[in-house]
Amino acid sequence: MTPPAPCPVMRHCGQYLVITMTNFKQNDGAQRSVFRIYLVLLVLASLAAISFVVAQSSTKYLWRIEVDNAIPDNKLPENVRSAFDDDDDRALNSISIDLNGDGIKEKLIPNEFLRGTGGCPWVVFDTKRKRVVGKIDAMVTFVQKRKQSGYFVLECYWRNGGDSGSVTTYAFNGREYVKLGSLSIQDEQIDKYFDERKSVPIVK
C-alpha cells in the first residue's frame, strides 16, 4: 500500500517546536514555561497525527462487503456453481458492484454452504462476459480505490482461530483476480484494523 501523506498538523507543530526550543536556549529564565508548552504541543501534535492517519486510511477505500448483505439472485447462470469447491445446490445470493468503472456491475457470490466462523469462499462473476473472473476468501472485503489492470484491488479479511486473522490482497491480472499477498494480524491489531475502516460505506 502507498504510505499516507505526512500529517500537516504534525509538520507545523514540529516547526513551532524548533522555534520554541531555539528561544529556550536564548532565555534560561523561561525554562519551565517553555517546557510545559513543549509537552502540550507534543501531545496535541501526536493526537492530531493519529486522527490524520485514521482519516487517510478510511479514504483509501470505496466500499465494504459482507456476506450478510448478499441478496437472493435468480439471474445467475448455473455454471457459476462449477467454480465452487463444494455446493449443496441451495439458492444463490450475490452483491452487485462495479469493479472496473464501466457502468456494468460485477457480482460477488458467496458460497454459503462452506461458510464458517472465519468467513466463506466467494466467486467474482463478470456479468458482461458471463464468466467467473476470480475466487476470494473473506469474512469482510474492502474495495480499495487503487486499480490494477483496470479493476479495483480487493482487500479481504479472514478470521483465523483464536484472536488472530489474516488480510489478503487480490488484484486483477488482465484475466482474473489473483492473490498478491497476505498478512497475519492479532489481538489489538485486529481492533485497530477495523477501527481505521469503520467509516467505509457498506454495499447493500
pLDDT in tens, 114-168: 999 999 999 999 999 999 999 999 999 999 999 999 999 999 999 998 899 999 9
Express each pLDDT in 69-120 by its tens digit: 999 999 999 889 999 999 999 999 999 999 999 999 999 999 999 999 999 9
Answer whether 9's CB lies under 8 Å from 52's CB. yes
**CA 10 to centroid of chain Cα atoms:** 25
In DSSP terms, which residues pair with 65 in a beta bridge? 141
**Residue 200 resides in a domain:** no
Answer whether 63's CB lies under 8 Å from 97's CB. yes
Last residue of a domain, which of 17, 34, 58?
A: 58
**Residue 15 resides in a domain:** yes
**Residue 117 resides in a domain:** yes
Separation of alpha carbons 172 and 154, rounded Å: 9
Return the minimum-mean-pLDDT range out of 37-51, 74-88, 170-184. 37-51
Integer-rounded Cα radius of gyration of the chain: 23
pLDDT over 70 percentage in the chain: 71
Predicted TM-score of the model (pTM): 0.72
Residue 155 has phi, psi (to 5 degrees) of -115, 115
Residue that wins the pLDDT comparison between 30 and 95: 95
Residues 41 and 98 in one domain: no
- What pLDDT is attached to residue 33? 66
CA neighbours closer than 13 Å in the CB half-sphere of residue 160: 13
- What pLDDT is attached to residue 34? 59
